[in-house]
Structure 1
Amino acid sequence: MTGGRESTVRALVVDGPGAPPTVRPVRLPAPGAGQVRVRVRAAGVCHSDLSMADGTIAAPYPLVLGHEAAGVVVEVGPAVTRVAPGAHVVLNWAPPCRACWFCGRGEPWLCAAIGGPAARRGRTAGGDPLHVALGLGALAEEVVVEQAAVIPVPADLPFEAAALLGCAVLTGSGAVRRTAGVAAGESVLVIGLGGVGLAAVAAARAAGADPVLAVDRAAAKRELALAAGASAFLPADDTLSRAVRELTGGRGVDHALECVGRAATIRAAWRATRRGGQVIVVGMGAKDDLVGLSALEIFHSARTLRSSVYGSSDPDRDLPELAGAVLSGRLDLALLISAETSLDGAAAALDRLAAGEGARTVVRP
């Protein structure tokens, strides 16, 4: 269907840093040239949503939260060639332009055209300008997005699994496979066991890493970590570095993946990594949370410190591959889903995330 009108849908909106998110009506524009309207069938509640709600990541408000989602195309604007109404799609919060210098170098996750934490789209019920998180605002009944932001997937792929592929799985598995390049027999440490961290644990185990050490401040994450393939669960305290070295011949791990986005945990990952190993920062943190490393230890340790943006993934290439792994049974995402709720329960899911409870909550708008 084409040529629609502005529509009113329910969405999870936050009015400012620390303000309580509430579900309310918002107005979405009709799809313009090259845009599509998607009815959201499942959306994951991600730590980045929490960071935008509490102000850790600066964003304009009022803001519709959500960026990890899957659904069905219900309307397309003029000049759309990528999908047609009825297509099942995963939303991509970082669609590359395929034309800039970074895209030309095969690094679409660093695309110069990728926007900031939010884009202006639609209006509040009162007519004020509205912003949507990471260009999507997917904790809503429907979204209007550029056609490059949708990736077609098989219709028999469950929506809840498809949603997680769009962020947690691409980010966590990509950090292991693409950024770190973990090889069989290498040791891996994962700090932070939300959806991204658990996906990284599973990917490290699938790559043949040994041992795979999982760390979180919440002891309740132990069973989730072991189910994902961790060799051991370690508490996030001052004994971490010593415990890691005891399990790695006194050296430290080959790869430490920090999936929290805090200076303290980045520093903990650094201390737990062997000389010549690498620390991969996967979590997105605050700009004023500074990491301190001395010039001497940088030289002496010979460690590499780098980030993994969106798992160094090309979603158009990697997501269909992951979808195939889910459908074949080679990738089981059930352990990443700790709860399901309606849109009205999304705010409570953010509270559970802030408390470190569970893995992913999937919202079904």
Structure 2
Amino acid sequence: MPSTVKGVISRSQGAPVELVDIVIPDPGPGEVVVDVKSCGVCHTDFHYREGGISDEYPFLLGHESAGVVSQVGEGVTHVEVGDFVILNWRAICGECRACRRGEPWYCFATHNAAQKMTLAEDGTELTAALGIGSFAEKTLVAEGQCTKVPESDPAVVGLLGCGVMAGIGAAVNTGGVTRGQSIAVIGVGGVGMGSVVGARLAGASRIIAIDRDDAKLEWAKERGATHTINSADLDEDGVVAAVQELTGGFGADVVVDAVGRPETWRQAFYSRDLAGTVVLVGVPTPEMELSVPLLDVFGRGGSLKSSWYGDCLPERDFPMLVDLYEQGRLPLDSFVSERIGIEDVEEAFAKMGRGEVLRSVVEIR
């Protein structure tokens, strides 16, 4: 029987979110219903609300989640009822050219559940944020979007479902930072803070956090940054000079742009050492354009990369990171600024916009 549950939707661009009744269909072939236990409030959900992702309203928001499998459809072998899972938004196909060449983290044919969740009031189909839609008591996903992990605090480990994983992966998987290297991270919100934590975990010797907010810079120091730069009163050249000053005049081995604007990308480009690596993990908006002298691209060498979901492989990375958290080696719990109810999402967006939190996390009991 289909289930009617509470869920948070965005009905139109810029309008406050609403808590309404939604219908979750029984899972079809390859689909899974998950009882949601937690969901982090991520900037991406806010971008959906504001129309920055698409105009396919109404959206069922939420995607950074952990929960328990409650139903499985025909042919599901990946998980079973009762499994504790973290949801991911890149269910790999296993068949595309990236998967076949042994690079499934680049999968070009990721997929979601075939069926749609709907509004109880009139049957309108909902667009699930990142194919998940988990500001809800239950959600319907493809089985590959469920990663089984050892049971832990859902509000903490669920953050691996998006922002924290994107940040850790940008530094470790995409940037390849390793022991003894230097890294600069531009923007230390949830994703950038993940890069700071990942760099510390990897043994980087110099971790430079860059932001316009002193509170966030202090949080970064508490989580592993060795140096901080407040960029509020600095132009692009000033940021570059500050990074160079902290790296013997050379620039950092790896620079992560966790903001995703042309000016921050240029800061990253010029703040790296010769043959260094730039990693873009902040998501630009469609109208943004970049201009850099081509001779500088050639002359500085190195790698210019974009990081998709931290180039993670959930089946590999999620269990490992949960294990590191349980060992006390990865401070995932420090990302949880507050635990809130499902009715508090709109206020959580406001707190996020004011820079008061790393993550507000909805708990569903």
TM-score between the two structures when normalised by the length of structure 2: 0.94
Query: Contact 1:120–1:131 (CA<8 Å) still a contact in 2?
Result: no
Query: Contact 2:34–2:140 (CA<8 Å) still a contact in 1?
Result: yes
Aligned to 2:94: 98
* SS of residue in 2 equivalent to 1:261: coil
Query: Contact 2:339–2:362 (CA<8 Å) still a contact in 1?
Result: yes
**1:168 corresponds to 2:163:** yes
Q: How far 1:204 sits from its partner (Å)?
A: 0.6
- CA distance in 1 between counterparts of 2:185 and 2:261 reads 14
Query: Contact 1:50–1:354 (CA<8 Å) still a contact in 2?
Result: no
Aligned to 2:198: 203
Q: Give the letter aligned to residue 94 of structure 2.
A: R
Q: How far 1:119 sits from its partner (Å)?
A: 7.8
CA distance 1:115–1:97, change in 2 (3 Å): closer
**Alpha-carbon displacement from aligned partner over 1:148-189 (angstroms, at most 9, x marks no partner):** 11111112x111122012222321111122111112121100
Give the % identical residues.
Answer: 39
**1:131 corresponds to 2:130:** no
* SS of residue in 1 equivalent to 2:39: strand
Q: Give the letter aligned to residue 229 of structure 2.
A: L
Aligned to 1:343: 342
Structure 1: state its 5+ residue gaps.
none
Query: Contact 1:224–1:335 (CA<8 Å) still a contact in 2?
Result: no
Query: Contact 1:326–1:333 (CA<8 Å) still a contact in 2?
Result: yes
* SS of residue in 1 equivalent to 2:291: coil
Query: Contact 1:119–1:134 (CA<8 Å) still a contact in 2?
Result: no
**Alpha-carbon displacement from aligned partner over 1:36-94 (angstroms, at most 9, x marks no partner):** 11111111111211222212222411001111100111122222222222111110111
Q: Give the letter aligned to residue 137 of structure 2.
A: E
**1:48 corresponds to 2:30:** no
- CA distance in 2 between counterparts of 1:25 and 1:264 reads 43
**Alpha-carbon displacement from aligned partner over 1:199-224 (angstroms, at most 9, x marks no partner):** 11011112221210001222211221
Structure 2: state its 5+ residue gaps.
none
Q: Give the letter aligned to residue 53 of structure 1.
A: R
Select the residue among 13, 18, 22 that pairs with 2:14. 18
Q: How far 1:120 sits from its partner (Å)?
A: 6.7
Q: CA RMSD in A?
A: 1.7
Q: How far 1:287 sits from its partner (Å)?
A: 2.0
Aligned to 2:60: 64
- CA distance in 2 between counterparts of 1:51 and 1:268 reads 24
Q: Give the letter aligned to residue 297 of structure 2.
A: I
Query: Contact 1:107–1:312 (CA<8 Å) still a contact in 2?
Result: no
Aligned to 2:362: 363
- CA distance in 2 between counterparts of 1:83 and 1:114 reads 18
**1:277 corresponds to 2:276:** yes
- CA distance in 1 between counterparts of 2:118 and 2:161 reads 26
User: Which residues of 2 match residues 241-256 of structure 1 at below 5 A?
Assistant: 241-256=240-255
**1:111 corresponds to 2:110:** no
* SS of residue in 2 equivalent to 1:126: coil
- CA distance in 2 between counterparts of 1:358 and 1:293 reads 34
Q: How far 1:315 sits from its partner (Å)?
A: 0.6
**Alpha-carbon displacement from aligned partner over 1:117-145 (angstroms, at most 9, x marks no partner):** x9871211222121101110011111011
* SS of residue in 2 equivalent to 1:121: coil
Query: Contact 2:201–2:330 (CA<8 Å) still a contact in 1?
Result: no
Aligned to 1:228: 223
Q: How far 1:304 sits from its partner (Å)?
A: 2.2
**1:153 corresponds to 2:149:** yes
Aligned to 1:313: 312
Aligned to 2:83: 87
User: Which residues of 2 match residues 260-339 of structure 1 at below 5 A?
Assistant: 260-339=259-338
Q: Give the letter aligned to residue 173 of structure 2.
A: R
- CA distance in 1 between counterparts of 2:149 and 2:303 reads 36
**1:7 corresponds to 2:3:** yes
Q: How far 1:107 sits from its partner (Å)?
A: 2.2
- CA distance in 2 between counterparts of 1:348 and 1:93 reads 25
Query: Contact 1:40–1:138 (CA<8 Å) still a contact in 2?
Result: yes
- CA distance in 1 between counterparts of 2:149 and 2:298 reads 46
CA distance 1:280–1:40, change in 2 (3 Å): same
Aligned to 2:208: 213
Query: Contact 1:121–1:130 (CA<8 Å) still a contact in 2?
Result: yes
**Alpha-carbon displacement from aligned partner over 1:244-288 (angstroms, at most 9, x marks no partner):** 111111111111001122222112211212222111001122122
Q: Give the letter aligned to residue 218 of structure 1.
A: D
* SS of residue in 1 equivalent to 2:34: strand
Query: Contact 2:28–2:74 (CA<8 Å) still a contact in 1?
Result: yes
* SS of residue in 1 equivalent to 2:162: helix
